[in-house]
Amino acid sequence: MAKLYEEIEKVQKGNLSITEQGILNFLKDQIKMEEDVLSQFEKNYSENKSNEAITSFMTLVQRANVMFYYLVQPTVLSSFTSGKMEGLVQELIDALTFAVSEATMMIKSMSKGLGIDSLTVSLNSNPPSISVSMVFKSA
């Protein structure tokens, strides 16, 4: 995510349309928030704060879905006149999917300690979204 943020910072805004500049600013803000959530998740995971790790994980998925949903809006898609923007959007989608996948594996590795009986993750293509289902053992 940090690398992607740096790439977005390097984009020459003068070469972009007003709409693309707005999209770029939105994506920068969202990437920064996603980085913060991911850092919080990793911290909670490493400190074995189970409840907080699950909360951070769910927030991570929710934020990824917000960006997925935003990016596939027809008005957003049709505004990309720059190949650079299209490449950045694809990198963002890949980075979000990777981050959620990694976080899922981390949650899965501690699922028994969290009382999670099953964890199911689905990646939908149209519209792009990630669905998570967790079943907790009864007390």
Predicted TM-score (pTM) of this structure? 0.85
Q: How many CB atoms lie within 10 A of CB 121?
A: 17
pLDDT value for 86: 80
Contacts by residues 91-99 (CB-CB < 8 Å, ≥ 24 positions apart): 91/4, 91/7, 92/4, 92/27, 92/31, 92/67, 93/68, 93/128, 95/1, 95/4, 96/34, 96/64, 96/67, 96/68, 97/64, 97/123, 97/130, 99/1, 99/34, 99/38, 99/60, 99/64
Question: For 70-82, what is the mean pLDDT?
Answer: 78
pLDDT value for 81: 65
Residue ranges of the domains in the chain? 2-136
Could you give the CA distance from residue 39 to residue 41 in angstroms, rounded to a whole number?
Answer: 5
pLDDT value for 119: 92
Chain mean pLDDT for the chain: 88
pLDDT value for 82: 60
